[in-house]
Structure 1
Amino acid sequence: MALGINMREAHFPGRAPIDAYGNGGFRFADMSHRGSILCLPSGIHGWQPADPASLASGDLQRVLDEADDIEILLVGMGPELRPLPKELREAFRGASIACDPMSTGAAVRTYNVLLAEDRAVAAALIAVD
Structure 2
Amino acid sequence: MELNEMPFEGDRPIDGYGPGFFRIGGVAHEGALAVLPGEVRQWGGWEDLETLLNARDRIDVIFVGTGAEIAHAPAAFRDALEEAGLGVEVMASPAACRTYNVLLSEGRRIGAALLPVG
The answer to whether TM tops 0.5 is yes
SS of match in other structure, 1:119:
coil
| Alignment partner of 1:85 is 2:74 | yes
| Alignment partner of 1:73 is 2:62 | yes
SS of match in other structure, 1:109:
helix
CA contact (8 A) 1:25 1:35 kept: yes
SS of match in other structure, 1:61:
helix
By how many angstroms is 1:110 displaced? 0.3
Cα RMSD of the aligned pairs, angstroms, is 1.3
SS of match in other structure, 1:69:
coil
| Alignment partner of 1:22 is 2:34 | no
2:51 counterpart residue number: 62
Q: Distance in 1 between matches of 2:35 and 2:49?
A: 11
| Alignment partner of 1:44 is 2:33 | no
SS of match in other structure, 2:57:
helix
Structure number with the bigger relative contact order (C-alpha 8 A, sep ≥ 6) is: 2
Structure 1: segments with no counterpart, 5+ residues? 1-13, 50-54
Instruction: Please report the TM-score for the alignment, with normalisation by the length of structure 2.
Output: 0.85
1:128 counterpart residue number: 117
Aligned residues: 109
Q: Which residues of 2 match residues 109-124 of structure 1 at below 5 A?
A: 109-124=98-113
CA contact (8 A) 2:43 2:51 kept: no
Structure 2: segments with no counterpart, 5+ residues? 1-9
Query: What amino acid does structure 2 have at the position aligned with 1:21?
Result: Y
By how many angstroms is 1:125 displaced? 0.6
2:3 counterpart residue number: none
SS of match in other structure, 2:76:
helix
Alpha-carbon deviations, 1:80-99, whole Å to 9, x = none?
Answer: 11111111121111111110
SS of match in other structure, 2:42:
strand
Instruction: Using the aligned pairs only, state the percent identity.
Output: 39
CA contact (8 A) 1:35 1:48 kept: no
Q: Distance in 1 between matches of 2:70 and 2:26?
A: 28
